[in-house]
Amino acid sequence: MKKIINEPENFVEESIEGLVKSHPNIYAFAKDNKRVISRSNKATNKVGIVSGGGSGHLPVFTGYVGKGMLDACAVGSVFASPSVDQIASAIRNGNNGSGVLCVLGNYGGDVMNFEMACEIVKSEGIETKMIIVSDDIASASNEDKLKRRGIAGLIFAFKIAGASSENGATLEEVYDLTLKANNNLRTIGVAVSSCILPEVGKPTFELENDEIEIGMGIHGEPGIKREKLRKADLLVDDLCKIIFEDFELSNSDKVSIMINSLGATPLEELYIVSKRVNEIFSKKDIEIVKSYVGRYATSLEMAGMSISVLKLDDDLKKALLDHSECPFWIN
């Protein structure tokens, strides 16, 4: 294992401390819990947007705290859910007096702990609702979409919820728009090589030098199939085919695209992917309103990438393009 770290057991605390110290105008530690990050300038009189999940995925989850995005975030250990107490603290710190929408990925531990935390704060008078993002095509069939994992599409959900909240929508209205975004989201990814958890010291899975895995999860969950590595255009063609088979898109539709590095894949390769994605959507007369290319939802140093598609209507487009203040999101 080669990593630029100190003691493996201090990996999470030191990384989030560095994040806060690097961007003190955006992030602050919650006073009651050092595993909770909130906005340094707390908002008032708006719906709070809260998330949380395991470490190892920066910028997800913590990096998306900021104006027009998340109000607070609970930070778990590497690839592990935050505790109920951490999530309850995040909800309290994200509460601005108008209720809190929790936006999280579809992982058993996260869902269970958020549900228990919401029950705790309910007794304190904080109203909550929950959106469980489920954009990962590879993890379940379209008929079982609610069972799908939440991966890079989470960031679109954060942005839509945060913008709606900043614009003065009620908790019910923010929930409805974010639910629409989740229903309009699809993601498919491919892993090229594994990652190493700092406290484990060995790869989470093995792939041959000429092998890739389509649909592997961000924690190393099994994907759809393992195949031989091929030229980028052929790979992108196959991934887009999976998206179009799962997702009803037609001529004149408008979308936003995210080409996301799982950690180690460089921007040059991502832009080769983006070039091909743009060609495919152009041939189908589907307008790409906005493309995002970079590291948005990672898995430590895993090599690979994912393609996310958000189908837009006027309300989703407005929320997506609204101003936000976050080091990891450029409008």
Domain ranges in the chain are: 9-183, 185-321
Return the ∠ at Cα 78 (arms to 151 and 116), rounded to 5°.
75
**Which candidate, 74, 55, 65, places its Cα nearest to that of 15?**
55
> pLDDT tens digits for the chain (331 residues)?
899 999 999 999 999 999 999 999 999 999 999 999 999 999 999 999 999 999 999 999 999 999 999 999 999 999 999 999 999 999 999 999 999 999 999 999 999 999 999 999 999 999 999 999 999 999 999 999 999 999 999 999 999 999 999 999 999 999 999 999 999 999 999 999 999 999 999 888 899 999 999 998 888 888 999 999 999 999 999 999 999 999 999 999 999 999 999 999 999 999 999 999 999 999 999 999 999 999 999 999 999 999 999 999 999 999 999 999 999 998 7
Residue 239 has which token pair?
A: 């991934």
Cα dist from 110 to 80, 106, 155, 255, 304, whole Å: 8, 7, 17, 29, 24
Residue 282 has which token pair?
A: 């152009």
N- to C-terminal Cα distance for the chain?
Answer: 37
Task: Report the b/e string of 279-295 with b at 16+ CB within 10 A.
Answer: ebbeeeebebeeebbeb
CATH of region 9-183:
3.40.50.10440
For the annotated catalytic residues, the residue numbers are 57, 219
User: Would you tell me which CATH number, out of the four given (3.40.1260.10, 3.10.150.10, 1.10.645.10, 3.30.1180.20), belongs to the domain 185-321?
Assistant: 3.30.1180.20
Separation of CA 4 from chain center? 25
Prediction pTM value: 0.97
SS3 140: coil
Q: What is the largest CA-CA distance in the chain?
A: 56
